[in-house]
Amino acid sequence: MAIVERRVDDIVVLDVMGRMTVEAGTHDLSVCVQRCLKAGHRGIVVNLQDVPYCDTGGIGALVTSLTAAGVDGGVVFLAHVQPSVRGLLDETGLSAIFRLFRDESAAVDAVRRHMQ
């Protein structure tokens, strides 16, 4: 799993690539989100377009990230959630907790509105 961090204006977009599994280093996502929050960034979009598979470790990293952002007054929204990942979110009931968007621009716009 790899993560590329970039900015869209004042919003951080984290492009996650590869399988989100414990073996692939899902903890790295939580660390990256924590680093962004410590740097003062409150709006984060996690782009899952290139994530074909996610296990419970990946879901755990997403939940940890969402919780950390909430504690710091921020948000983590998910974009391009692939069907297999969406299925796991649905099975666990977490699709009701996360804000899911079909594409990055919709997620970025929603973060902007939320942060106003």
pLDDT of residue 111: 97
List the structure tokens of 73: 């007054």
pLDDT of residue 24: 84
Measured CA angle at 56 (ends 7, 28), to 5 deg:
35
Distance CA 103, CA 116 (A): 21
Instruction: Flag whether pLDDT at 26 surpasses 90.
Output: no
**pLDDT tens digits along 29-88:** 999 999 999 999 999 999 999 999 999 999 999 999 999 999 988 999 999 999 999 999
**Longest alpha-carbon distance in the chain:** 38
pTM listed for this prediction? 0.95
Strand partners, 56: none
Q: What is the assigned CATH class of domain 2-115?
A: alpha beta
Instruction: Flag whether pLDDT at 27 surpasses 90.
Output: no
Distance CA 38, CA 58 (A): 22
